[in-house]
Amino acid sequence: MLEIDFAAASFAVLAVWRVTHLVVAEDGPWYVFQRLRRAAAAIGLERLVSCFYCASVWIAIGFAPLVASGWRALLIVIPALSGGAIACERLMSRDDAAAIWFEEKEERP
């Protein structure tokens, strides 16, 4: 059976959201995150630090071991933390969302 502390997971979701938002959408102190995004773009990793969806997965990997132990729990917690962070982003963002999905409408003849 998987044991995951709900309070720790809730705080971890907020932490993943905060760190992801910091990396993707903010300049940070002394423009640290702006420089990080430029450096990542220079080596071909621009999507990693410019896409909220992508970055939240990688950041969730760092937080997941703090919430869950065992590989089965980690397989559940990583996408859960990422999904929670994405949900927070969608709830808290206005028109300038860092993560947006557009679907093209199919034209009918």
107 found inside a domain: no
Q: Considering the chain, what is the average pLDDT of its residues?
A: 88
Does 100 score more than 80 pLDDT? no
Domain that holds residue 54: 14-92
30 found inside a domain: yes
87 found inside a domain: yes
The number of distinct structural domains making up the chain is 1
105 found inside a domain: no
- Determine the pLDDT at residue 6: 87
Q: Which of 97, 89, 99 is nearest to 13 (CA)?
A: 89
What is the pTM assigned to this prediction?
0.81
Question: CA 77, 59, 32: angle at the middle one, nearest 5?
Answer: 165
3 found inside a domain: no
6 found inside a domain: no
Residue 99 — pLDDT band, cuts 50, 70, 90? low
Query: At a CB cut-off of 8 Å and minimum separation 6, what does 38 contact?
Result: none
